[in-house]
Amino acid sequence: MRKSGIFILFAGIAAGMAFAMAGTSQASTHNAAMNSKMMAGNGHLQMPSFDARRGRKLFASKGCVVCHSINGIGGEDAPALDADTMPMPMNPFDFTARMWRGASTMIEMQVEELGDQIEFTGDELSDIIAFAHDENEQKKFSPDDIPANIANLMKHLGSEDEEHESEEHESDTQQ
């Protein structure tokens, strides 16, 4: 009588645990699929969007493409950001840390070439980072993704470069 009571209790706990575990794994699969809902930092931090398709547009419209190339499209003043040059898997904050390391040069060049420092939201940056790691989305990157204002700027800078190249040993030090 006592024994079977303990057995029933034990079986009940085991069933409860199995139920709880099934619930957890379902929840984590759900979270992985919808990682924009994932929370950290006691629920105060939310994962950004990481939308590579939007990143493809932003990489061009924000002007990254003026200096960096992907899929052979873009400037050559800065390292190419093709997915096959990225360490993978990469913690997105490591990408940001690399940007931070190059920040002073980048911002100086942005002010010179684009007229101002590029601004973006966390979601926008996460979309660009997702694009930098998505070789399938990168294959779709074409000059059609570059808005007219950025394309004109690139054309203008490109012809400036050619002028510089033809002016033999022209000093770069003029301010």
48 binds ligand HEC (CB under 6 A): no
87 binds ligand HEC (CB under 6 A): no
Q: How many CA atoms lie within 13 Å of 161's alpha carbon, on the beta-carbon side?
A: 12
Q: Segment contacting ligand HEC (CB under 6 A): 4-12, 22-30, 110-118, 158-166?
A: 110-118
Q: Segment contacting ligand HEC (CB under 6 A): 9-17, 47-55, 108-116, 140-148?
A: 108-116
CA torsion 160-161-166-171 (nearest 10°) is: 90
157 binds ligand HEC (CB under 6 A): no
**Count of residues that interact with ligand HEC, criterion CB under 6 A:** 22
126 binds ligand HEC (CB under 6 A): no
Residue 66: closest CA among 10, 106, 17: 106
> Under a CB-based contact definition with an 8 Å cutoff, are residues 70 and 81 in contact?
yes
Burial (CB < 10 A; 0-12, 13-18, 19+), residue 155, is exposed
66 binds ligand HEC (CB under 6 A): yes
Residue 79: asked if its preceding bond is cis (omega within 30°), the reply is: no
133 binds ligand HEC (CB under 6 A): no
63 binds ligand HEC (CB under 6 A): yes
Q: State how far the alpha carbon of 36 is from the alpha carbons of 57, 123, 142, in Å.
A: 20, 10, 28
Strand partners, 70: 73
Q: Segment contacting ligand HEC (CB under 6 A): 27-35, 56-64, 148-156, 163-171?
A: 56-64
Q: Segment contacting ligand HEC (CB under 6 A): 24-32, 35-43, 60-68, 142-150?
A: 60-68
16 binds ligand HEC (CB under 6 A): no
